[in-house]
Amino acid sequence: MHRPVLRNAPLLAAGAAVLAVTAAAAPAADSVPHARQAKSPVAVGYGGAVASVDADASAAGIEILRRGGNAVDAAVATAAALGVTEPYSAGIGGGGYFVYYDAKSGKVHTVDGRETAPGSADETLFLEDGEPIAFDEAVTSGLSVGTPGTAATWDAALDAWGSKSLAQNLKPAERLARDGFTVDETFRQQTADNEERFRNFPATVDLFLPGGELPVVGSTFKNPDLARTYAELGKKGTGLFYRGALGREVVDTVRQPPVGPDQEHQVRPGDMTTGDLRGYRTKRQAPSHTDYRGLDVYGMAPSSSGGTTVAEILNILERSDVSSLSEEQYLHRFVEASRISFADRGRWVGDPAFEDVPTKALTSQRFADARGCLIKEDAVLESPVAPGDPHRPRACGTGGPAVATTYEGRDTTHLTTADKWGNVVAYTLTIEQTGGSGITVPGRGFLLNNELTDFSFTPVDPEAPDPNLPGPGKRPRSSMSPTIVLRDGEPLLAVGSPGGATIITTVAQTLTNHLDRGMPLVDAIAAPRASQRNAAKTDIEPGLWNSPVREGLEGLGHEFGQSSEIGAATGVQRMPDGRWLAAAETERRGGGSAMVVRPHGRP
């Protein structure tokens, strides 16, 4: 069997010039300046590492590491800071998935902090007069808001594996919210993209459109309401959110969205109750797992489809010597493996509390082999591809009607952290679409999610089972794919990305770029992406659209649609000499931020 490339010494040499220039450390531990930190996409050093889309957020995580915190503490601190500087992507109004490698035990653990539907929800949640309501109207409504899980995720992770209190880990973000950060072009553009719907809600206007105008690039953006909320959470604990005054404010906002008196848009109320908040629980569960060329790949098991679908893509590709293929041959097989895996995802994956999800079968090599035989070297499968039956795999067999993949909002954020003890975190969190529901909790400084629009509004095919219909307390299916890879029980790398359903293909492509095709991690992240999700067309970025490879693939029958940007990945990697390498985007979303505690010296 072909083994992964993993040529660490050559990779170090190939990236040496970049690393020498871009190795980054955070500022002094007692200061996160008002201006945005300088961004660097790669950093190498000792003492721990943080990679996120935002330099101020990465600096918050590094500050906690310097104060003696571990990777879990740093992840919470970084996530809280992203709630300040990336409020349209994540925050305590949303949820996410937390994957943790514990160096002491050598085990991988996960926390499912996905939002849940209210207890009153059923399959008619998004229907009126028997017909689905318009998607955009569902997004900007209380109806779309799931019971948030982010604060509970922080509490669960810190209680199990953290070394510092929630209050200590929130301090850098609290300070950042109070003192402000410098507005960049991405923040202004995201505000502009949401301006029309934001203007439905006075509290959202007051926060994100100061003086009624778009924030100016280079200006300082402050969020004193969020600073106060973080301070109160730190003092009183997350019970404030799930059993206290903050929770009641969230419920009131969902049930009676605070629209302006002159607004003409219909903003539907939701049915969340204080009982839904009191009853919310994160789930500690076993990670998804597959063996890929002798490496252990751990991810997020359902309710996310990320772990199972990344595993299936990898397992299909394992029967090929991916390292020896031309770029055209590689992309053909990668696209087809993704197409097949998304067919299986759509049929089988939902919230396992409500659905019989065959997680082990979906991640098995036996099932992947039965599905991978569909791939032809000289032709393209017709989409949508019908799913297979993981319970009874048979070569090239199918197990039901072919259905298309439903839409998921593409905005989210991902962070990765590591510490001097060897612990690693891959954490993806979200409020769903850019700007979530658009509804700000008055006086609290954060937006509420629109996560329930990840449910199928109606069955994708009336003749086929749909495991992703709404239900009481049900978690909508996600594509978030925080992933940790071990070699001989030790961490090799961790990676993840935002991007809705494209998260799965981004993570799988990054892994194969690095593990099979020998790219340094930062280059594997930067490489142009293709995302096939069981559709007629494959989304590709300009780097592939403008490449001669596209013509060759079109000659095989591939159809493409151009996407300006797919995902925004981050990762960390353990180097052979014991150092950590942190890697982030070089350009997407304005470039990411990789930092280490000490770029020089010794352990």
Residues labelled catalytic: 412
- Shortest CA distance to 387 belongs to which of 373, 374, 401? 401
Q: What is the DSSP letter of 471?
A: -
| Token reading at 520 | 């340094």
Length of the chain: 603
Euclidean distance between CA atoms 216 and 571, whole angstroms: 31
Alpha-carbon Rg for the chain in angstroms: 22
DSSP 3-state assignment of 531?
A: strand
> Pick from 601, 253, 241, 535: which is nearest to 385 by CA?
535
Tell me how crowded residue 120 is: count the other CB atoms within 10 A of its CB: 14
Q: How far is CA 21 from CA 17, 26, 323, 340, in A?
A: 7, 15, 29, 42
Contact at 8 Å (CB) between 238 and 155? yes
Q: Are 54 and 593 in contact (CB under 8 A)?
A: yes
Please compute, for residue 75, the number of CA atoms within 13 A of its CA located in the half-sphere on the CB side: 38
- Rounded to whole angstroms, how far apart are CA atoms 222 and 175? 10
Give SS3 for 376.
coil
**388/396 Cα distance (integer angstroms):** 8
Beta-carbon contacts of residue 298 (< 8 Å; ≥ 6 apart): 99, 101, 108, 287, 288, 289, 307, 483, 484, 485, 486
Instruction: Give the residues across from 570 on adjacent strands.
Output: 496, 584
Check if the beta carbon of residue 571 is closer than 8 Å to that of residue 595: no
Rounded Cα distance, 47 and 25, in Å: 10
The angle at the Cα of 407, spanning 402 to 411, to the nearest 5 degrees, equals: 145
Residue with tokens 């505690």: 597
- 538 in helix, strand or coil? strand
Pairing of strands 42-52, 413-419: antiparallel
What is the number of alpha carbons within 13 Å of residue 558 lying toward its C-beta?
Answer: 32
Query: In 86-208, which ranges are continuous DSSP H helix?
Result: 135-139, 150-161, 166-179, 185-198, 202-208
Q: Where are the beta strands (DSSP E) in 366-455?
A: 413-419, 424-430
Q: What is the DSSP letter of 315?
A: H
Measured CA to CA, the distance from residue 255 to residue 70 in angstroms comes to 39
Contacts of 225 (CB under 8 A, 6+ apart): 207, 443, 444, 445
